[in-house]
Amino acid sequence: MAFVNIDRLGLQIGRIDVSTSKVQNVVNWARRCPLCLNGTLEINGVNTSLFVVGEDQSVFQSITDEHVRKIDGVRGVKFTPIVRWTRGFSARLDLSTERTDDPPCNMMPYCEWCPRNPMYVGDVWRRSKQ
């Protein structure tokens, strides 16, 4: 796993706030998703906030609607795009390009933007392979 400047890679970041009755299900999914950078555990309605990366806004819609909303126990989801960081942003990100037939998060449909997808449609992980 490399420590990288997210902006320089051409990635965007979004925050997904999740209200759930089963926090551990969300945490387990987040730990397996290669596009999830990190998360926070909270109180007062929102149980966890996930910080995810994507190559464009359609990635966030796919992750939010096709995966996070479908995790058992999730009651509500709110997505917020991060427009700009005050000091830039670097994070640990797995840039390996190993493809697998099964989604690492164990959820279908397989995100077309997932760097593990054999049918990956993005550019960032393709460039990192070169």
Per-residue model confidence as pLDDT tens digits over 15-43: 999 999 999 999 999 999 999 999 998 76
Assigned fold of 2-124: Alpha-Beta Plaits (3.30.70)
Residue 74 CA neighbour count, 13 Å, CB half: 21
Of 62, 68, 25, which Cα lies nearest the Cα of 50?
A: 68
The pLDDT assigned to 7 comes to 81
The pLDDT assigned to 128 comes to 65
Please state the pTM of the whole predicted model.
0.90
For the chain, list residues with pLDDT below 50.
none
The pLDDT assigned to 44 comes to 66
Q: What's the one-letter identity of residue 48?
A: T
Q: What's the one-letter identity of residue 67?
A: H
The sign of the CA dihedral 88, 16, 25, 66 is negative
47 with 19: CB under 8 angstroms? Answer: yes
Helix and strand tally (H, E) in the chain? Answer: 4, 6
36 with 30: CB under 8 angstroms? Answer: yes
